[in-house]
Amino acid sequence: MRVLLTGGAGYIGSHTLLKLLQDGRNSVMALDNFSNSSPEALRRVQKLSNSNFETHVGDYREPNVLDSVFDSFRPDAVIHFAGLKAVGESNEKPLLYYDQNVSGSIGLLDCMQRFGCKKIVFSSSATVYGEAQYLPYDEDHPLNPTNPYGRTKYFIEEIIRDWVASQSDASAVLLRYFNPVGADESGEIGEDPRTIPNNLLPYISQVAVGRLKELSIFGNDYETRDGTGERDYIHIDDLAAAHIQAVKFALDNRGCEAINVGTGKGVTVLEMVKAFEEASNREIPFQIKGKREGDVARSFAKVTKAQKLLGWRAEKDLVDVCRTAWNWQTKNPSGY
Ligand code: NAD
Ligand code: UDP
């Protein structure tokens, strides 16, 4: 199949790109403007896969960029990763987020329609659920995102749903990621935040490698096993595999499906710190701080829909997460 990856040089895009190439039967193009990634990620994917793929450097919001990509590559399906993802920044610059994520996605769907491409897999997020009314979150849980970033994901989901409904043979899979973590087994590609990490795992691993002094734990009086926030951490390798299944599903089916991608199990911040200490054999100094605004106590997925529709389930565990994240961090202490 011919698959276009918007944001293909990013953290999730690069791992998915590698998996698509390792599958051996796919022609792939990565479109990225490197606003939050490095061309080095693509060079490394090329080396690891020992196969060629096309790249296009540009902003996916520019119509001439998309037209030229679709005209030359003619994808059967698009995996749409490109966009901005920092919750805090989205509170400060909501219009930037609506432009990059929502307007950009509308332009992409318009271009797909003009070129007769009717299959899309979209990077959505568990943030669309908002405060849990019950756990685990299943795909029918009410959607009530609590920040502009989450609302962009919610609006794009609805736009894609309408777009699919308006055409007889279109299909979409809205993958609602829980917390993507870890790195490829090779340690050649991984998560490479450009600034001080917002997310737990890259923060911990930068403390372990000595780039940051100590971890701040945001709250220890949540109603969880040990008082710290609980999340469903999904290994990037498993997440990449879910995309391969989702593209196949989109190509074989019609309609729009939202599907959770998680392990179904929650891990607390303190459990993650302990697991990373064991994997790295380093101490992770931390201080308990106040709660981070907008954080929920617990978040984990019901994963049966992914098993049923995609034949996919997470295979890697917390030990794999910490081992591969540490391998990537030690091989690339300053990132790419
Ligand atoms: P990332 O920032 O590493 O990857 C996004 C890629 O898109 C980057 O390479 C960036 O350069 C590119 N990009 C951004 N704007 C672009 C534009 N206008 N034109 C072309 N390229 C552009 O992020 P990621 O963690 O790989 O996330 C991928 C997607 O998954 C995002 O849509 C994100 O919202 C979503 N998501 C991520 C997480 C997570 O925790 N990482 C969780 C849920 C959902
Ligand atoms: N967290 C923390 N310190 C950090 C970053 C995160 O204590 O420096 C906590 C956060 O409060 C949450 C969990 O770790 O309970 C996961 O946070 P992350 O930002 O990685 O994911 P999200 O909140 O988006 O699920």
Write out the chain's pLDDT in tens, 336 residues.
999 999 999 999 999 999 999 988 889 999 999 999 999 999 999 999 999 999 999 999 998 999 999 999 999 999 999 999 999 899 999 999 999 999 999 999 999 999 999 999 999 999 999 999 999 999 999 999 999 999 999 999 999 999 999 998 999 999 999 999 999 999 999 999 999 999 999 999 999 999 999 999 999 999 999 999 999 999 999 999 999 999 999 999 999 999 999 999 999 999 999 999 999 999 999 999 999 988 899 999 999 999 999 999 999 999 999 999 999 999 999 999
CB 127 within 8 A of CB 198: no
Query: Which of 16, 32, 102 maximizes ligand 1 atoms within 8 Å of its Cβ, making it the mutation to test the pocket?
Result: 32
Query: How far is residue 333's CA from residue 320's CA, in Å, rounded to a whole number?
Result: 19
CATH of 3-183+233-262+301-314, one of 3.40.190.290, 3.40.50.720, 3.40.1160.10, 3.40.190.10: 3.40.50.720
What is the 32 CA–ligand 1 centroid distance (Å)? 10
Q: For atom 21 of ligand 1, which residue has the closest CA? A: 32
How many other CB atoms are there within 10 angstroms of residue 132's CB atom? 15
The helix/strand/coil state of 119 is strand
Ligand 1 atom with the shortest distance to the CA of 177 = 43
**Across the strands, what pairs with 181?**
235
Of the candidates 146, 153, 157, the residue with the CA atom closest to the CA atom of residue 120: 157
Of the candidates 220, 221, 202, the residue with the CA atom closest to the CA atom of residue 212: 202
pLDDT (0 to 100) of residue 14: 98
What is the 104 CA–ligand 1 centroid distance (Å)? 13
CB distance 229 to ligand 2 below 6 Å = yes
End-to-end CA distance of the chain: 30
Burial readout 254-283 (b: 16 or more C-beta within 10 A, e: otherwise) = eebbbbbbbbbbbbbbbbbbebbeebbebe
What Cα–Cα distance (Å) separates residue 248 from each residue in 2, 120, 127, 171, 331?
11, 11, 25, 11, 34
Q: For atom 34 of ligand 1, which residue has the closest CA? A: 85
CB distance 32 to ligand 1 below 6 Å = yes
Q: In this structure, which long-range contacts are made by residues 86-91, counting pairs with CB atoms below 8 Å and at least 24 apart in sequence?
A: 86/149, 86/198, 87/127, 87/147, 87/149, 87/150, 87/198, 87/294, 88/198, 89/149, 90/147, 90/148, 90/149, 90/152, 91/147, 91/148
Q: Cα torsion at 40, 44, 45, 50 (round to 10°)? A: 140
Query: Which of 14, 31, 36, 155 maximizes ligand 1 atoms within 8 Å of its Cβ, making it the mutation to test the pocket?
Result: 36
Name the token pair of 233: 């951490």
Of the candidates 301, 327, 323, 328, the residue with the CA atom closest to the CA atom of residue 314: 301
> Structure pTM?
0.98
* Amino acid sitting at position 111: C
* Helical pair 39-49 and 11-23, crossing angle rounded to 10 deg: 20
What is the 17 CA–ligand 1 centroid distance (Å)? 13
What is the 219 CA–ligand 2 centroid distance (Å)? 10
φ/ψ region of 219 (left if φ > 0, alpha if ψ in -120 to 50, else beta) reads: left
How long is the chain? 336
**Across the strands, what pairs with 29?**
4, 54
What is the 124 CA–ligand 1 centroid distance (Å)? 10
Q: What amino acid positions are annotated as catalytic residues?
A: 149
pLDDT (0 to 100) of residue 25: 86
CB distance 83 to ligand 1 below 6 Å = yes
Cis peptide before 136 (omega within 30 of 0): yes
What are the extents of the domains in the chain? Answer: 3-183+233-262+301-314
Of the candidates 167, 55, 39, 145, the residue with the CA atom closest to the CA atom of residue 101: 145
Burial readout 30-42 (b: 16 or more C-beta within 10 A, e: otherwise) = bbbbeebbbebbb
CB distance 10 to ligand 1 below 6 Å = yes
pLDDT (0 to 100) of residue 112: 98
Proximal ligand: closest to the CA of 83: 1
Query: How far is residue 61's CA from residue 100's CA, in Å, rounded to a whole number?
Result: 7
Query: Which of 5, 11, 103 maximizes ligand 1 atoms within 8 Å of its Cβ, making it the mutation to test the pocket?
Result: 11
What is the 46 CA–ligand 2 centroid distance (Å)? 32
Proximal ligand: closest to the CA of 198: 2
pLDDT (0 to 100) of residue 294: 81
* Helical pair 236-252 and 318-331, crossing angle rounded to 10 deg: 110
Q: For atom 35 of ligand 1, which residue has the closest CA? A: 123
pLDDT (0 to 100) of residue 24: 84
